[in-house]
A and B are shown apart, each in its own frame.
Chain A
Amino acid sequence: MAIVGTGTVLLKAVGPVLLGGRSLPPQLAGLVEMLAPALLAALVVTQAVAGDRNLVFDERLLGLLAAAVAIRLRAPLLAVVVIAAAITALARLL
């Protein structure tokens, strides 16, 4: 686990230590700007349907659907997260 700790520290440090404080050239900045939607969308998918090297479609999806409705209704961030957990828990109870 020491390897993971050290490795994570180094991975996190690469960008800020090498580039720190400087802005990226505009062409690269345009690319990096698109990283956020791409990575966030991938995080949504992996957190919602990833199992142990397989796709798992379970009650999490109902929670995510409820979250989508809450976001659409402009609910605050905390409410969105709580609603998703509550709906998922409820679905598992039933």
Chain B
Amino acid sequence: MSTAASIVMSATTFAGSAQFAAVSILGAGGSVAAACTAALLLNARYVPIGISVAPVIEGGVLRRLLAAQLVVDESWAMSRRPDGRHDAGLLLGAGTLLYVCWVCGTALGAFGGSALGDPESLGLDAAFPALFLALLVPQVRSQRAAYAAVTGALIAFLLIPVSAPGVPIMAASAACLFGWRRARVPPGRSWRSSERARSC
């Protein structure tokens, strides 16, 4: 991939995992169509992620459209508050900072990346699961959340060998259905009180 192409990709497709997937498929001699499909499948997770942050992204359609672009896994996870809502300032602030660093970092890497050596020898590929684990732990506060996490992990694990990149993550979002039916009106209690009891 050319220097200019990788910088433009970072600026328009602000989503690291999709970019890594596309580049690795192209690098392995895969077709452009396969690379695009994988990247879009990976980014399909932004539909549920977008729905979860929608309540705090306010303003006109254009403003919401632009603010939505600043949402990435990291800004989404970091801005989540204990009550399940998102901190708008943190979401957009972290998103903006990440965006600037991401595009500048891509430019740096594209021009002088070979000087850095192999990112794997620096262990950088292990930084991502560690980051997501650190963000996951505080989310697991209820038994239902623990079930959702375990089910999501299991779905992803089982699908990795048999599906295209992106499908495992997308499919894992179905784990949020876990305990949904149970979570609805248990007999004799209102939905609201059962929700409060569970969130403790």
Binding site for B on A (CB under 8 A): 1-9, 11-24, 26-27, 29-55, 59-60, 62-64, 66-68, 71, 77, 80-93
Contacts and interface: CB of A to CB of B under 8 A. Distances in A.
Contacts of B148: 34, 37-38, 41
- Most chain B CB within a 10 A radius of its CB, from A43, A44, A90: A43
Given A71-B137, A85-B124, A50 B168 contact: yes
Interface in B91-135: 120-135
B36 A67 contact: no
A3 B156 CA distance: 26
Contacts of B132: 40, 43-44, 47
Contact of A9 (B12, B133, B134, B151): B12
A1 to B, nearest CB: 5
B28 interface: yes
Contact of B156 (A5, A8, A27, A45): A45
| Chief secondary structure at chain B's binding surface | helix
B156 A63 contact: no
B123 A89 contact: yes
B192 A81 contact: no
Contacts, number: 306
A64 B133 contact: yes
Interface string B1-43: 0000100110011110010001010001000100110011001
Given A4-B40, A49-B157, A87-B126, A39 B173 contact: yes
